[in-house]
Structure 1
């Protein structure tokens, strides 16, 4: 990347090409006419080609300038789009939420439709994460994280207790007459939740089965799709399982739920500055959503 020209020089080149002069380009960029002229000279020196024909009345692009302009303009446009897409408009009504991928897809996204109808003035950005990071993302207004609440440097507000419950396709549920029947059916394991099945069998007073594992996946979302396709029984958090059961894609056999050592938390940095009203409004909605 050492041959890449100075970004300021490229911005000046694009602006001069579009506006037809150093003075107009300087006014748009917040620079003096002399500074823009220096940028263009520096760019031409680095490239070894003249980009403009300078006359007493106007500037005209040379053949080299005409060939170079589309690539420069495209690169600047793509950079602007990527910046806005990743970091968004930080206006008073914009709120960025970061949540585990399963909760983002299965809990927050479906409820977001009605919330946005009620609050059209808010610009909500929903980002998902597979694995929780130690530090909070500085570009995130609200972070929901699943765990035990012992993260350093943050205030973790629990969003209510969680349970672990089995879910499966309705056709497979017909084979589950009693908890012991779980030992004879394929079971879906989720990486990061390796303790769920052993803890669940212990709570039921059943021995640990050594066979009939269906598959191992790295997200609850993948486990949901596998279970919905009839691939086995998965253990999911109760807040997710309840919403899935309501859609009819999966069912929860009438077996007891096991209290989970993990729950959802709303995170804020310690000693953080007061949050803007739009963020507080969304936080209140999320508290109600996860408490439902």
Structure 2
């Protein structure tokens, strides 16, 4: 049932079982408490069994956890002894993650240093594509897409609904008081999402007048750079707006018909533990962002 179990997960489980505390385990292992918790949830997911009872300020082993920890403890001791004497340190594992270019650059990449700090034994290769349909790259372990979830080439797990909001440069935020002020332009359109301005103006009863200056950009990254420089206004995913982008939202976010999905292609290969760990981490990032 459970093959290729990640050794790091087992170490986190054993330490947490010994301390009966995720905090105690994290201090011993030099990891964050969140990392230890994620290790154990990933292990429970693979084993399809709860190992701990989690209550406020109290952690205890389930009956299955009690039965498992003794064997795990002895196995870890044996593995450490044999591995160190025969093979030396455990090799770092690398996984390839593919995501839409703007999601990767503006949202995912800034979070990866925290992942690497918490999981130093996993290296990441992040690749991007502008159009989410162009997903034929071989060797991708984790694939993230933005769309309507109607693909037929792979199973799609929805991670998060999305919203859109107009943005202006930070230094312009006091000049824009209502949606109609955006009509002074220039309006920045992002290819593939040209209908966003109609959604924004339609929600406030405004109409784009002929003669408004316009730009057309192929990515949200380039659109935000233009806006931050004071070159116009854009409508982007709310998720992608951070202090580092140099832009400010205008008004309230609006519903967006597309969402972020985690893709899983049909394959005869077993999903590697480090891939499952990253997917669990990714779910948590979308759930808390």
TM tier, smaller: 0.5 to 0.7
2:282 pairs with 1:283? no
C-alpha distance in 1 between matches for 2:269 and 2:257: 31
Gaps of 5+ in 1: 1-90
Q: CA deviation at 1:136?
A: 4.2
Equivalent residues in 2 for 1:1-292 (5 A)?
93-133=93-133, 135-241=135-241, 244=242, 246-247=243-244, 249-253=246-250, 255-270=251-266, 273-291=269-287, 292=289
CA-to-partner distance for each residue in 1:115-170, whole Å, 9 max, x for gaps?
A: 10111100110011111235543310011111111111211111111001111111
Which residue is equivalent to 2:55?
Answer: none
Q: Secondary structure at the match of 1:260?
A: strand
Which protein is bigger by CA-based radius of gyration? Answer: 1
TM-score (norm 2): 0.65
- The structure carrying a bigger strand percent of its residues is 2
C-alpha distance in 2 between matches for 1:145 and 1:222: 19
TM-score (norm 1): 0.64
C-alpha distance in 2 between matches for 1:219 and 1:279: 28
C-alpha distance in 2 between matches for 1:285 and 1:133: 24
CA 1:227–1:152: 2 relative to 1, 3 Å: same
The aligned length equals 198
C-alpha distance in 1 between matches for 2:245 and 2:138: 38
Q: Secondary structure at the match of 1:201?
A: helix
C-alpha distance in 2 between matches for 1:212 and 1:173: 20
C-alpha distance in 2 between matches for 1:266 and 1:154: 10
Q: Secondary structure at the match of 1:180?
A: helix
C-alpha distance in 2 between matches for 1:92 and 1:272: 24
Q: Secondary structure at the match of 1:212?
A: coil
Whether the aligned pair in 2 keeps the contact of 1:189 and 1:213 (CA below 8 Å) is no
CA-to-partner distance for each residue in 1:16-48, whole Å, 9 max, x for gaps?
A: xxxxxxxxxxxxxxxxxxxxxxxxxxxxxxxxx
Over the aligned positions, Cα root-mean-square deviation in angstroms equals 1.8
Runs of 4+ aligned residues of structure 1 deviating over 6 Å after TM superposition are: none
Gaps of 5+ in 2: 1-90
Q: Secondary structure at the match of 1:265?
A: strand
CA-to-partner distance for each residue in 1:222-265, whole Å, 9 max, x for gaps?
A: 10110111111111101102xx2x33711112x12110011111
CA-to-partner distance for each residue in 1:48-72, whole Å, 9 max, x for gaps?
A: xxxxxxxxxxxxxxxxxxxxxxxxx
CA 1:111–1:257: 2 relative to 1, 3 Å: same
